[in-house]
A and B are shown apart, each in its own frame.
Chain A
Amino acid sequence: MNTNLKISNVTKIYPGCVANDDVSLEFNSGKIYALLGENGAGKSTLVKILSGVVIPDEGKIYLNKNILELNSPSDAKKNDIGMVFQHFNLFETLSVFENLIIDSDEQRENLKEKIDTIMKKYNFSVDLDVPVLNLSAGQKQKVEIIRCLIRSPKVLIMDEPTSVLTEQETSELFLSLKKFSEEGILIIYITHKLKEVMQLCDEVAVMRRGKLVSVSQINNENIESLANKMVGQDLKTIKKKKENTSSEQLIKITNLNFTSEDPFETNLVDINFSLNRGECLGIAGISGNGQSELFQVLSGEIISNKNSIEFNKNFIGNLNPQERREYLMAFSPEDRLEQAAIPQMAIFENVALNNFKSSNFFNNGLINESKIKEHSKKIISEFNVNTNNIDLKSQFLSGGNLQKLIIGRELITSPDLLICFNPTWGLDVGAINYIHETLIKINEQNKSIILISTDTDELLKLSDKISVIHRGKLSKIMNAEDVTSEKLGILMGGGN
């Protein structure tokens, strides 16, 4: 039987951002659909609407011409929409079988039979009696898929399913998905990986900044054309004026590796680069490709081999962030509220987090509050933080003001190198401009910047050199003038 799923004029607005802007799409069974877009393009919101997790502000969903009321995930299940999320929703300590039957009200024996048939039919081999924590990521995903299949879904949605899989597991997954599709299950595949779209899908819908950009047959597309649509051609080409970049090397990274024990983190493989004074190195990439790990390794939150980082002719790979600050490095992490600042503490206390030696914030182990406050006032006026009350808890600053405070805190020591990670994420245009101007200014003062960002516009605007990180590997470093959005898109999607 043919299944038809129709999304009609769906809009979802979050405070400060339109996640889905009048999106209409139609899917028919027998085909595999790709939903492609950068981070924050609105794919996840759309998928959450389809699975009942998020309720749209406007618009309707139709399944086989019938309107669907999706007010909760269980409504989606009732309507035969199955969903496999990027992060698994499994009980680690329960066995595979227990996980499979946990949300079902059918008889155990019936289920057992059903599961056996499914496993045989699709050639899945998972031991039903072992606890889930002993499974590999690929096997866990199979458990999630089986859990959907038990309900014989009409629609199966896969959200970035390959991000935790090995190559082998990925190709196994693709085989299964193709088989499901042949059996009449409508498959919607969410991804930002261009190669996978080309390999697997029949039709592709591209989203950018909440809007649906295009819907097309895969035969009419190639990796370049998709990259262009995904990243957008409306790229501003304003680059900062290059004057006198020196050729004096400031930082050199040699054979830096990081292996994580957490399967959701990315391993860094053989990172090598160097940067001169007064330059800005932009590191592009789709989030989750090792940016966070790279930031932590550079900032010293993750300690590495002493010789892997040479900064200003000192080897500092084994130093922690506070020690690195003494060598005039500064850091602005991605997460303003959970890492760069503590919302529950006052502004001046947040300033004290950057405790460089000459600050005298703490003398003989005692807090020197007047010194910290004096310093805080200076940051607030120099960096245009819109408040005059430094006793205010920092949670009452807007995102833009908080970011100015953080950048100000880091820059007031006039560091030689600022490492920032998504510095303008979630900010309004005014604050973005201010941060960009500040970054350009410090470059002009012959200070260097490493800018890790998922915003390609920002990277093209600010960087002198650009590299792309993909699966923990850095591409070769390119001069920003030679880089096009198309090229970036391909590299970000894992192409060459």
Chain B
Amino acid sequence: MIKIVKRDQPSKAIFFFTPVLAIFLTLIAGGIIFYILGFKPFEALKFFFIVPIADKYGFSELLLKATPLCLIAIGLSFCFKSNNWNIGAEGQLTFGAIVSGGVALLFYDQEGFFILPIVILAGAIGGMIYASIPAILKTYFNTNEILVSLMLVYVSKLILDYLVVGPWSNPEGFNFPETRQFSDSARLPLLFEGLRIHAGIFLALAAVVISWFVFYKTYLGFQMKVSGFSLKTAKYAGYKGKKMIILVFLISGACAGLAGVGEITGPIGQLHREVSPDYGFTAIIVAFLGRLHPVGIIFASLVVAITYLGAETAQIFMQIPKYTGQVFQGMILFFLLASDYLLFFKFKLIGSKK
């Protein structure tokens, strides 16, 4: 007989094993779904997960998609580790893109090395401003940050919509809902000729290193960790719990804002209606799949980025909607949450008694 027993302590090995298990289960479930849709499961999965990254261009696309996911997830890990549920990274990304895009548009007909740093900085500040709204409302007015940050996503998207259709739309653009192209000085440099991967990836890598350092090596990180586990303890130790909450929101907003900058000054080169295919939401899955650990987040962002690419390939080669990508993202989260059960419980074989 198999019995389920509670673990004495959550196992460290299981902690890092369950994300792998979740991915494995997602592949199986995905195969079953493809089979039901009338495809050969292995072939379909190959189209989804292997074909898209089989060549140099595909690999560059993978890194291109993983960059914003990683950057945002790193920022979110600050919030989530300290029990602040910021789920509005998509809004912070959008607002960061609006502010940096606005700055880039100021210089649309100018060249100069100073432009790009200003544009990047503007994006980070934009994200921070937007993230500060739920943070301040939470700390001083006891509002729920989940609701506020989520609803602000739609506000930011409507602001962007208004700007690209109205005041910022390209005067020579035949009323298309988009702005002028940014000048080359406002664009992140490409890393390789002919590939879309750009210097934004260094921002993501820097975020990984900095977040690891802050969390594991600094007093600030220690205070965030303590505040996350228990605000009462933080108060008792004399830490400023409220400031800590605002700080993690600002960090997370800055990262999301930078991801926005990466998109518009990288592959897009202007503002239009859709600056992000929901990177801000998907990054929540990335953060948890990566166990809120900087290195884990790198791997998780690569895995989840494949679902974006796979969905496009599947649309082209198998004529199924690209929303399959979201189905896969949903399944990963679902199986991750389900397999986290193993963190606290284990199966035990026991001999049957007579």
B230: Cβ under 8 A from any A Cβ: yes
* Interface members, chain A 297-340 (any B CB < 8 Å): 299-301, 320-325, 331, 333, 335, 338-340
B236: Cβ under 8 A from any A Cβ: yes
Cβ-defined contact, B238 with A342, below 8 A: no
From A320, A344, A366, give the contact of B238 (CB < 8 A).
A320
Interface of B is mostly: helix
Stretch from B216-224, B263-271, B288-296 that touches the partner: B216-224
Cβ-defined contact, A325 with B238, below 8 A: yes
Cβ-defined contact, A396 with B9, below 8 A: yes
B211, chain A: closest CB distance, angstroms = 15
CA distance A365 to B224 in the complex (A): 13
Chain B residues, Cβ within 8 Å of A339: 230, 232-233, 236
Cβ-defined contact, B233 with A365, below 8 A: no
Cβ-defined contact, A362 with B229, below 8 A: no
CA distance A322 to B219 in the complex (A): 14
From B222, B236, B237, give the contact of A367 (CB < 8 A).
B222
Chain A residues, Cβ within 8 Å of B237: 321-322, 353-355
CA distance A366 to B43 in the complex (A): 52
CA distance A395 to B219 in the complex (A): 22
Interface of A is mostly: mixed
Cβ-defined contact, A301 with B236, below 8 A: yes
* Interface members, chain B 307-331 (any A CB < 8 Å): none
* Interface members, chain B 199-245 (any A CB < 8 Å): 216-222, 225-226, 229-230, 232-233, 235-239
The answer to whether A393 and B217 touch (CB under 8 A), given A301-B235, A321-B237, A352-B222, is no
The answer to whether A340 and B222 touch (CB under 8 A), given A366-B217, A393-B9, is no
A130: Cβ under 8 A from any B Cβ: no
B49, chain A: closest CB distance, angstroms = 36
Chain A residues, Cβ within 8 Å of B236: 299, 301, 321, 331, 333, 339-340, 353
A13: Cβ under 8 A from any B Cβ: no
How many residues on the A side are at the interface (Cβ–Cβ under 8 A)? 31
* Interface members, chain A 351-370 (any B CB < 8 Å): 352-355, 362, 365-367
Chain B residues, Cβ within 8 Å of A490: none
A345: Cβ under 8 A from any B Cβ: yes
CA distance A333 to B232 in the complex (A): 10
Chain B residues, Cβ within 8 Å of A194: none
Chain A residues, Cβ within 8 Å of B238: 300, 320-325, 355
Chain A residues, Cβ within 8 Å of B239: 322
Chain A residues, Cβ within 8 Å of B229: 342, 344-345
What residue of chain A has the Cβ atom nearest to residue B235's Cβ? A301
CA distance A260 to B249 in the complex (A): 28
A341: Cβ under 8 A from any B Cβ: yes
From B216, B219, B221, B232, give the contact of A335 (CB < 8 A).
B232
Cβ-defined contact, A365 with B219, below 8 A: yes
Cβ-defined contact, A366 with B218, below 8 A: yes
What residue of chain B has the Cβ atom nearest to residue A295's Cβ? B236
CA distance A221 to B164 in the complex (A): 83
Chain A residues, Cβ within 8 Å of B235: 301, 321
A134, chain B: closest CB distance, angstroms = 17
Cβ-defined contact, B9 with A353, below 8 A: no
CA distance A320 to B234 in the complex (A): 11
A155, chain B: closest CB distance, angstroms = 37
The answer to whether A340 and B218 touch (CB under 8 A), given A323-B238, A345-B225, is no
What residue of chain A has the Cβ atom nearest to residue B237's Cβ? A353
CA distance A345 to B221 in the complex (A): 13
Chain B residues, Cβ within 8 Å of A355: 237-238
The answer to whether A338 and B232 touch (CB under 8 A), given A322-B237, A355-B237, is yes
Chain B residues, Cβ within 8 Å of A335: 232
Chain B residues, Cβ within 8 Å of A325: 238
The answer to whether A365 and B218 touch (CB under 8 A), given A299-B236, A333-B236, A355-B237, is yes
Chain A residues, Cβ within 8 Å of B220: 365
Chain B residues, Cβ within 8 Å of A301: 235-236
* Per-position 1/0 for A392-428, Cβ under 8 A of B: 0101100000000000000000000000000000000
Chain B residues, Cβ within 8 Å of A324: 238
CA distance A444 to B233 in the complex (A): 30
CA distance A393 to B10 in the complex (A): 11
What residue of chain B has the Cβ atom nearest to residue A335's Cβ? B232
CA distance A349 to B233 in the complex (A): 13
A396, chain B: closest CB distance, angstroms = 7
* Per-position 1/0 for B258-296, Cβ under 8 A of A: 000000000000000000000000000000000000000
Q: Can you name 20 A-B pairs with beta carbons within 8 Å?
A: A299-B236, A300-B238, A321-B236, A322-B239, A323-B238, A335-B232, A338-B230, A338-B233, A340-B233, A342-B229, A344-B229, A345-B226, A352-B222, A353-B233, A355-B237, A362-B222, A365-B219, A366-B219, A367-B216, A367-B219
Chain B: residues with CB nearer than 8 A to chain A? 9, 216-222, 225-226, 229-230, 232-233, 235-239
Given A301-B236, A352-B222, 19 new contacts (CB under 8 A) = A299-B236, A301-B235, A321-B237, A323-B238, A325-B238, A335-B232, A339-B230, A339-B236, A340-B236, A342-B230, A345-B225, A353-B237, A355-B237, A362-B222, A365-B220, A367-B216, A367-B217, A367-B218, A367-B222
